[in-house]
Amino acid sequence: MIDKNPLITPTSAPYSDRDVIGSLKSDWIDDSCCCCNIAYFPLGKFHICGHWKRSVFFPTLVSLIFITSALVYYFDTSTVVPWGRTIQNRCIFYWVLGFSLVCTSVSYVLTIYIGPGYLPYNWSVSRKSVYTFEEMMSSMAIYQEQVDFGRTNERPPRASFSYDARRYVLRADHYCEWTKSWIGLKNHRFFLLVTFWASFYCIFYIASRFFWFKGIILDLLAHKTVNAMSIIGVVYCIFFIIIGPFSSYHFFISLINATKNITLIEKWNKRDPAFSKGGCCSNLSEICGSKLLFMFWPFPCFCLSPTEDGFYNCLYDEENQNSSYCGYISRNSKVL
């Protein structure tokens, strides 16, 4: 008889029948609305929206920071800096800031919306590439037996089992706290884009306000006063001085790894980039899409599909069915 212990139980329950454990269904409630599939898991007390384990605080906070910073920039810069004295110059600077903000926002949303690509804990039983929402939710690792099954049984190359996701993550790279989402096969390109465009936004935001800073300092020295809008602007600039280098660092680290076709998890485990295709462009195509469309890679509005060679080929080639490149990720294995 199966002991249906919740996932939070620290001890591992032994089991002997692989087929029984592989067919064990998770308890969940369908809370779907007209525009989104939503599942609620009473034991874990969490919601899954589509594929995303819902956690709205950080995404909401990040969105508010970038949107309000742009509004402050528009209302508090035009009359201070030299370039703001003509409509033409203002339009150019506002367009650059607005474009970088849109690219950052779209990349951020798509990182969450598309997700890394998931497979159920019992993938080794069904071995399918596509699952319905009901099939995926019924195969979430809620019970301890399911967790043990996912940890010990076969999975596609480069897939990793995650406690937090309760599933396998395809080509798992790392867990991003700012998006509350895993970064993997399908959304790694958008993670690269959000770190790049966020870096560009922060650098442009600070650099273009140099004379604005000068004006505030002169006004403070002359009149001993500073208006409230300027104080808010200074706070944003200080924040972006921190976020800009932070985003740039993660962009360059991820880009270097992507050009070698190796993930952070594989580097942590000191594995060679065995999936490298030789050239930088070929390796990037694994997550960015066809090399013929490389000119569209930097723009998030073009939702290019990754080649996904690391997963789909293994469905038809039994020689590739091994776990030598598969990792198990604990709750504490998070970066960013």
Residue carrying the six token digits 């594929």: 51
Residue bearing the bigger pLDDT, 132 or 77: 132
59 within 8 A of 180, measured Cβ to Cβ: yes
Q: Is the pLDDT of residue 69 over 50?
A: yes
Predicted confidence at residue 83, as pLDDT, reads 53
Locate 155 and state its tokens: 């999975």
The residue ranges of DSSP E strands in the chain, in sequence order, are 29-30, 38-41, 46-49, 52-53, 118-119, 160-162, 167-169, 174-176, 181-183, 327-329
- The Cα–Cα gap between 317 and 336 comes to 35
Estimate the share of the chain in helix, then strand, then coil, as percent rounded to the nearest 5. Answer: 50, 10, 40
Predicted confidence at residue 126, as pLDDT, reads 85
Predicted confidence at residue 311, as pLDDT, reads 54
- The predicted model gives 120-146 an average pLDDT of 90
Q: Is the pLDDT of residue 205 over 60?
A: yes
- The predicted model gives 226-234 an average pLDDT of 72
**To the nearest whole number, what is the mean pLDDT of the chain?**
79
Predicted confidence at residue 314, as pLDDT, reads 45
Local confidence band at 224 (pLDDT 50, 70, 90 cut-offs): low
- The Cα–Cα gap between 146 and 120 comes to 10
Instruction: State the pTM of this model.
Output: 0.83
* Least confident stretch, 128-142, 182-196, 220-234: 220-234
In the chain, domain spans: 1-50+118-169+308-336, 66-115+178-305
Residue bearing the bigger pLDDT, 207 or 67: 67
Local confidence band at 218 (pLDDT 50, 70, 90 cut-offs): low
Handedness of CA 303, 305, 310, 315 (dihedral sign): positive
Predicted confidence at residue 187, as pLDDT, reads 93
314 within 8 A of 157, measured Cβ to Cβ: yes
Residue bearing the bigger pLDDT, 56 or 14: 56
Neighbours of 294 (CB within 10 A): 14
124 within 8 A of 153, measured Cβ to Cβ: yes
% pLDDT > 70, the chain: 76
Handedness of CA 8, 48, 179, 284 (dihedral sign): positive
Neighbours of 8 (CB within 10 A): 11
Local confidence band at 325 (pLDDT 50, 70, 90 cut-offs): very low
Q: Is the pLDDT of residue 183 over 70?
A: yes
Predicted confidence at residue 120, as pLDDT, reads 93
- The Cα–Cα gap between 113 and 198 comes to 18
- The predicted model gives 33-38 an average pLDDT of 85
Local confidence band at 308 (pLDDT 50, 70, 90 cut-offs): low
